[in-house]
Structure 1
């Protein structure tokens, strides 16, 4: 089956009309119609014929085509049945060569089972639906799955949260989680006109490179649990947020050992301080 012109909104719309399909807002579907941007983004993924890649939300396959053209083995996760049907036809020759597989369904519900059965890829890519971007990034980290490199195009606001530093309004448990697991670098900002349909928000492509010094704490599960607890009520102090987790005596001992005042708030603590607090708490419980 012949691919549509991935750079032309008119051609994409005509192709969808001919196949009785339409973009579904509930899935956060937007196609990147800037060829130069697509190439630049995939260049950062640093792939060759020995690479394995997961792609979330291939749509009509513009990025899929770019990835497979570089020889990588690709598994794509697609929730839209219509797109899944077309993508299977577009890349049938790669499927026959064992280079392409499609997993249909909601990636938030399918990725873990697929990973357990087949193992994770060494690369991750997605023009991620804005409504699931933070969730899929956090879920993989929480489940202990980290990729050698991940390149995601996401809502700029989500990207800012990923790289936010302590004391800033965008700093959250998500910021800490991302920076704990990866070194994060901005690739390019993309205005709405780079996409079709044009989204109401600006986007940013981000490169995430696996940290070699991970996890830098004695008990990663406790660290993640503590992180969720500390940021559960942003207006509360660190001490008050920790009480349900460790009780008054152990909370005070852990804070003292880590050199942290109980009166500060979680958003004022750096990643290093949070890791110290986790280790102090781990030695007490």
Structure 2
């Protein structure tokens, strides 16, 4: 039976229609150990192809957010029993994920995120994940294949970029599998892929995170230049570069290299103030 929810171009909606792929995506979320279900947020549920398998899992406390009023109305009716289950309630949120205060809404408790992300806002979603890196423990998502490859890329790869470094600083990124265009309504003009982000054990950078982000962004914003030129505005006048990072381009530095470079810049700034 066709879904009454129509995909909307302005929202970047391409609804997954393959049930087997939906199951594979949901199964990438690990089974929770212990008595307390893991709070899990699905972004952009659309027609509920992932939602129905997520709601069946008793180890998850489900929250679903969608900006599309038509989708919300359909999900509210189609999965009515779950929203009204007092023993194991699920929660339907009408609104924009990007405007959602994750800390307040989920009481700063650990959170899983899952979804077929709208391709036009996937980068914004990942920057929001970074802003809540201590809270968001895992992300399982379908995104544009090119973006997935970029996020998982290592130094030396031409697709390696700002989000590659920033996300890999705090998450282990697994490229799970590719997905063709024919399993969507409407079919996108690009191929898709499913990736999983798992929070690593890094708690501290040994430098200001704001400065680290500035160094990474400045380096890649002028990626054809050496870092000596790309980071000119961030470097102290008498900066010493024993590792010769500044003679390289941004794509040649690993996550650890960027951290070490930022630590050196911060230390030099502090010395000049003394």
**Normalising by the residue count of structure 1, what TM-score does the alignment of the two structures yield?**
0.85
The structural deviation recorded for 1:102 is 2.2
Q: What are the within-5 Å matches in structure 2 for residues 143-162 of structure 1?
A: 143-162=132-151
In structure 2, how many angstroms separate the alpha carbons of the residues matched to 1:123 and 1:139? 13
Whether contact under 8 Å (1:146, 1:210) holds in the other structure is: no
Higher mean alpha-carbon deviation, 94-103 vs 228-237, is at 94-103
The structural deviation recorded for 1:114 is 4.0
Aligned position for 1:100: 90
Identify the match of residue 70 of structure 2 among 82, 86, 91: 82
Aligned position for 1:232: 221
- Paired residue total: 262
1:96-143 C-alpha deviation (Å, 9 max, x unpaired): 226222222221122xx2433433552110100001112211222034
Identify the match of residue 42 of structure 1 among 26, 33, 38: 26
Identify the match of residue 243 of structure 1 among 202, 210, 232: 232
In structure 1, how many angstroms separate the alpha carbons of the residues matched to 2:13 and 2:236? 46
Q: Is the aligned partner of 1:27 residue 2:11? A: yes
The structural deviation recorded for 1:216 is 4.1
Aligned position for 1:208: 197
Identify the match of residue 59 of structure 1 among 46, 59, 62: 46
Q: What are the within-5 Å matches in structure 2 for residues 129-168 of structure 1?
A: 129-168=118-157
Q: Is the aligned partner of 1:279 residue 2:263? A: yes
Unmatched 5+ residue regions in structure 2? 270-274
The structural deviation recorded for 1:161 is 0.7
Whether contact under 8 Å (1:142, 1:224) holds in the other structure is: no
In structure 2, how many angstroms separate the alpha carbons of the residues matched to 1:227 and 1:119? 31
Secondary structure of 1:284's match?
helix
Unmatched 5+ residue regions in structure 1? 1-10
For the aligned residue pairs, the C-alpha RMSD in angstroms reads: 1.9
Aligned position for 1:8: none
Secondary structure of 1:148's match?
strand
The structural deviation recorded for 1:145 is 4.4
Whether contact under 8 Å (1:125, 1:150) holds in the other structure is: yes
Higher mean alpha-carbon deviation, 92-101 vs 23-32, is at 92-101
**Normalising by the residue count of structure 2, what TM-score does the alignment of the two structures yield?**
0.88
The structural deviation recorded for 1:147 is 2.3
In structure 2, how many angstroms separate the alpha carbons of the residues matched to 1:145 and 1:77? 21
